[in-house]
Chain A
Amino acid sequence: MKKKVLLMGKSGSGKTSMRSIIFANYIARDTSRLGATNDVEHSHVRFLGNLVLNLWDCGGQEAFMENYFVSQRDNIFRNVEVLIYVFDVESRELERDMHYYQSCLEAILQNSPEARVFCLIHKMDLVQDDQRDVIFHEREEDLKRLSKPLECVCFRTSIWDETLYKAWSSIVYELIPNVKELEQNLKDFANIMDADEVLLFERATFLVISHYCTRPHKDVNRFEKVSNIIKQFKLSCSKLAAHFQSMRVCNDNFAAFIETFTSNTYCMVIMSDTTIPSAATLINIRNARKHFEKLERMSQGHLGKGHLSTHTVGVTLG
């Protein structure tokens, strides 16, 4: 059964923009605000394999929304894996925002008590630099207090700096079931291959799930940059009705490989040792793929752990 990720928040808080950026979708005009039966969601985007993102708007006609909470509540709030609630930092109606939030939490408690709750305090670029921390911590305290008995994790975000990317990366990171194991395996993988860095990207959003560097790198923004570039490339590709499978960049100084990895992930491998032929790396990646897929399936089936075997040692030199 597909589990839902609800993206909710007041009208105008930035949900659609956020979703467009993360998923590299075109911006959908929200025509079906008062849609027919229960279609307040605008889009279904699948990510992490078995999760579906539903965008749900909480603004506009209040009376309608109140009613909606009552009548469609079970339908919407059942099978929710994650609730992401977006608050606009410059909203003047804090009372009403909190009221909606609490209604959502009540519905979640009743229908999907296991769901994880994330709160994003959005549009932080509109707040002055020196006040951002203060305001964020204030809101965070309020939200944590109001969310009891559920636990909520708060992030402050703005689409114009790296905070959006980091927040969503953190959210995705927490949603991967066996992420620690994955990281351990990535480390082994990197060491076996002699790679500078190995990254795992989520397939739909290109958010970095985990990474391991053997050699440190100065650019802290590189993840977001790579993510954006690849998403732009995917945008171009989609116009030609093609979808992105792999990319290879080779140079005097390094070779980078971006390949589909498991059903939910892409991996990116950076090798600075140019004496290693790319075919060798590709074979390594191919072999590792099977292992990581098994890991994924096991985690989804909640079976035991696995180890990266030495089959992958394969074809390194020296």
Chain B
Amino acid sequence: MDRGEGDAQLDEEGLFMNLDGRDEASTSEQQNSQLEEGINEWSNEEDGGPRTMEEEREEEEEEEEQRAESIPRILRVNTVLSHLPPSSSLPRVTERTPLIRPASSFAGLCSTSWNARVGPSPYTAENKPKRRPFQYVGSSSSIRGGGVQQTREREPNSEDAQLYNRYRYYSRLRADVHPSEQALVIPDHVVPPQLFLPYIPGHVPDADGKQASHITIIAIWNTMMGTSLMTMPWAFGQAGFLGGLIIMLGMALLALYTATCLLTLQKTMGMEGASQELSRVCKQLVGGGALGRVLEGLTVTFSVLTLVGAQVVYWVLMSNFLFNTGEVIYDMLQGEIHNDSSNALLCPPNVTEQTGNFVAPDPVGFHHWWQQDLTVPLYLIVPFLFLLNLRDAKIFTYFNSLGAISVLVMYLFVIFKAATWGININFTDPSNTFYDPFFKNTFMCLTGTLSLAYFIHNCIVTIMQGNRHQENNVRDLSIAYTLVALTYIPIGVLFYTSFPLPKYCIVDNFLDNFPPHDVLLAVVRGFLFFQILTVYPLLGFFIRNQLFTYFLGPGHTFYLPRVMFLNALLITFSVLVAIFYPNIGFIIRWVGAISGLAYIFLLPCLTHMLALHTQGRLTYPLAMLHTVIIILGIGNFVAQFFTE
């Protein structure tokens, strides 16, 4: 359909003012007031224009009103604007037509004075401040005695002024566009740098919105520190003493190397410019098209798989912590006293108990309704029905720091306990209760667990983009990995070495080796419960976001029914696993092996080799090295099948 002259773009509704004889007085007055309001609004918005145009507009308004007085009402509309001749294709509306903007409430605005709305001005003619819009420097020229011959000290900012002019015009064009569309949005590199920051008196902000190295390092540490911490002692035990140490160090180095590969992929490819998202770089590498789509699909699949695995583990842990917290509170209410609480240790139910009070699962009363494997997972559904369906996940990120506190507390706790228990390990005599061979054939449990423990590869590029000194990226990553290793390894090794019961008693969540009423751990469990409570919806949000973006494109909107459906699936899955197979060691090592294979081994090595190949820098030794890494990854995955 030809859209007319190109001057006026009528939309389908055909907003059209009536020029009928009927109701002339009232409707035309309303229309005039709307029109005036439109002009006033428009001219009030343009407060940043150069002086001449400000004057122009003010004068124009005044002039229009002057002229308006002397001409009958109907024609007021016609002095400055002329209407299109009525044509049969346009609908005629007899009553007041609504404006596109919901401005009908402003209809009365022009008739009341500005003062009546905001109060009288506190400034008199003498003390009126000479304020100018931000893009001007130099004194404001005054109208008296100046006019067109103004001082032009603002020459240096004429470009800024023009940019601002353009920005306003383009914003106008965008008025009817969905905010998520990127067209005509002013990009950061175009905005003059001095405009970037709001000025807060007394506060010296970071000029570029980036963070210092130590904050990046802490962010990485916090992100990597997860539930695998509690699995560490058990996992370490699965690999034997020496085997465990070698694997822990080796995995840390390997994961660090491949994370560095991913981080520097863009540079290896020779792509200049700002750091881009990993998926985009990979797409660039592969060249787009069908292969790119497949690659993207694989990326999403593995990412979602990791997140779902993490969610399931979280649900099991939450049930655990909630259960224990409930037990503590119940015991306190019942007034039970545990006299050797500080030294109590547990062995899991299918091994004979040694010491300490062990609350036997009493099938009647409170304990009937409060069982870790049966009922508590179901009770957990209640808060999540609401939390998971929230649209915006930002609120949950604030609680992330609770996890860091819990980790520190656990760390100190383990050191303290290890100090009290002393070394309880024996390397030579198989009949000793504390015997631990140097190497065990269940080492793949450790490798699988560590694959998840050192996993940050899917978001390392995003986190590092905020680093202020990009040249320090690799250094900061190395420091972060060292810190993480220094957290995991001592907890695993110390706890395992000093544990005073037979080593097979160590559970894959070492907090379970302590009875519920241990005060310090009760507090730790409480913290962790609350932290996981807030991380679970965050994971749900990521899963939702990735799946919907992949299938529906980046413009997808929040549509409650399908979000609820997805959440119902996720919760059902988590609850079923928590009830029937709450074995987090198993889940962690499998999820770790699968996603590790994809993200820690395959993706970095393949893309690194491909990037080097396109640059012509792929040498034989490098190719061999990376192929070996890939084989290790595949072996890690396959070995998971072979534990007994």
Contact = CB atoms under 8 A, between A and B. Distances in A.
B84 interface: yes
A232 B46 CA distance: 10
B102 to A, nearest CB: 13
Contact of B148 (A16, A203, A229, A254): A254
A266 B83 CA distance: 18
A250 B63 CA distance: 8
B69 interface: no
A5 B169 CA distance: 25
A263 to B, nearest CB: 10
A21 B166 CA distance: 10
A10 B257 CA distance: 39
Given A27-B181, A233-B42, A254-B148, A240 B162 contact: no
B170 A21 contact: yes
B548 interface: no
B34 to A, nearest CB: 7
A246 B101 CA distance: 25
Contacts of A24: 173
B271 to A, nearest CB: 9
Interface in A2-40: 16-17, 20-21, 23-27
A44 B99 CA distance: 26
A160 B184 CA distance: 9
Interface residues of A, number: 57
B617 interface: no
Contacts of A247: 60, 80
B166 A160 contact: yes
B328 to A, nearest CB: 58
A234 B8 contact: yes
A138 interface: no
A228 interface: yes
A249 interface: yes
B169 A239 contact: no
Contacts of B42: 232-233, 236
A254 B53 CA distance: 12
B174 A27 contact: yes
A241 B7 contact: no
Given A17-B184, A252-B147, A240 B3 contact: no
A43 B3 contact: yes
Interface in B187-209: 187, 189-190
Nearest to B35: A240
A17 B82 contact: no
Given A225-B162, A232-B42, A240 B34 contact: yes
B170 A241 contact: no
Of A43, A126, A233, chain B has the most CB atoms within 10 Å of the CB of A233
B124 interface: no
A236 B165 contact: no
A203 B15 CA distance: 22
A159 interface: yes
A178 to B, nearest CB: 22
Contacts of A253: 147-148
A237 B176 contact: no
Given A228-B166, A250-B59, A254-B148, A16 B80 contact: no
A249 B56 contact: yes
Contact of A241 (B3, B17, B57, B176): B17
Interface SS of chain A: mixed
A59 B453 CA distance: 43
A224 to B, nearest CB: 7
Contacts of A243: 5, 7-8, 81-84
B158 interface: yes
Interface residues of B, number: 61
B104 to A, nearest CB: 14
B249 interface: no
Given A162-B162, A221-B162, A242-B82, A231 B8 contact: no
A131 to B, nearest CB: 11
Nearest to B99: A239
A65 interface: no
Contact of A203 (B6, B9, B82): B6
Given A26-B177, A27-B184, A125-B189, A242 B162 contact: no
A245 interface: yes
B30 to A, nearest CB: 12
Nearest to B31: A240
B184 A248 contact: no
Nearest to A123: B187
Interface in A251-294: 251-254, 256, 272
Nearest to A235: B172
Given A17-B183, A232-B168, A253-B147, A241 B177 contact: no
Of B2, B35, B166, chain A has the most CB atoms within 10 Å of the CB of B166
Nearest to B60: A249
A228 B169 contact: yes
Nearest to B152: A218
A245 B53 contact: no
A234 B53 CA distance: 16
A204 interface: yes
Contacts of A16: 183
16 contacts: A16-B183, A20-B173, A27-B176, A159-B184, A162-B162, A224-B166, A234-B7, A240-B34, A242-B82, A243-B7, A243-B82, A245-B82, A247-B80, A251-B55, A252-B147, A254-B148
A-B pairs, top 7 by smallest CB distance, nearest first, are A204-B6, A253-B147, A243-B8, A228-B169, A242-B81, A249-B56, A241-B15
Interface of A: 16-17, 20-21, 23-27, 43-47, 92, 125-126, 159-162, 203-205, 218-219, 221, 224-225, 228-229, 231-254, 256, 272
Interface of B: 2-3, 5-10, 14-17, 34-35, 38-39, 42, 46, 49-50, 53, 55-57, 59-60, 63, 80-84, 90, 99-101, 147-148, 152, 155, 158, 162-163, 165-166, 168-170, 172-174, 176-177, 181, 183-184, 186-187, 189-190, 284
Given A20-B183, A229-B165, 9 more contacts: A203-B7, A228-B165, A236-B42, A240-B38, A241-B15, A242-B81, A243-B83, A244-B8, A246-B80
